[in-house]
Amino acid sequence: MPYCVKCGVELDNSAKKCVLCNTKVMMELPDEIPPYPKEKLEISQLNRGYFSILLTMILLVPNLACLVINLIYTPGVYWMYYVFGGSLLLWMIFIFPMAIKKKRPLLHIFLLFLSATLYLLLIALALSGMRWFLLIALPICITVMSLLYLIILIVIKKKPGKLKTVSISLIAVIIICLVTDGVIDYYIYSDIQLSWSYIVAASIIPVIIGLVLLAGNKKLQNELIKKLHI
Partner 1 sequence: MLRKIEEKKYRHWFKLDNAAKIYPAANTRRWSGMFRLSVTLNEKIDPVILQEALVATIKRFPSFNIRMGKGIFWYYFESNIRKRLQVKPDINNPCAPIRWKDNNGFLLRVFYYDKRIAIDFFHSLTDGTGAMVFLKTLTARYLTLKGYEIPTGEGILDVEEKPDKEEYEDSFVKYANSRQRGRPKEPKAYHMKGTGLDDLDISIITGIVSLEKIKQLAKEHHATITEYLAAILLYSFYKQKEKEGLYKKPTRIAVSIPVNLRNYFKSNTKRNFSTFLNPGIDTILGEYTMEEMLRQIQYFMKANLNDKVLNAMMTQNVILERNLFIRIVPLFIKNFIMSLAHDTIGYRPITTVISNIGIVTVPPEMKELVNRFEFILGPAKIRTPYLAVVSYEDTLVLNFTSKIQETDIERTFFTYLIKQGIPVKIESNRE
Residues in contact with partner 1 by CB under 8 A are 4, 7-12, 15, 18-21, 33, 35-46
- Least Cβ distance, residue 18 to partner 1 (angstroms): 7
Distance of closest approach, residue 15 Cβ to Zn ion, in angstroms: 10
In the complex with partner 1, the residue whose CB is nearer, 16 or 131, is 16
Give phi and psi for 57, each to the nearest 5: -60, -45
Cβ neighbors of 92 (< 8 A, separation 6 or more) are 108, 111, 112, 115
Site for Zn ion in 13-42 (CB under 5 A): 18, 20-21, 23
Minimum CB distance to partner 1, residue 35 (Å): 4
Which CB, 6 or 158, lies closer to Zn ion?
Answer: 6
Residue 33, contacted partner among partner 1, Zn ion, none, CB below 5-8 A by kind: partner 1
Amino acid symbol at 189 = Y
Q: Are 40 and 31 contacting, i.e. CB atoms less than 8 angstroms apart?
A: no
DSSP H or E stretch at residue 109: helix 105-126
What is the separation, in whole angstroms, between the first and last Cα of the chain? 51
By the 10 Å C-beta count (0-12 exposed, 13-18 middle, 19+ buried), 65 is classed as: exposed
Q: Among partner 1, Zn ion, none, what binds residue 44 when CB lies within 5 to 8 Å by partner kind?
A: partner 1
By CB under 5 A, name the binding residues for Zn ion: 4, 6-7, 18, 20-21, 23
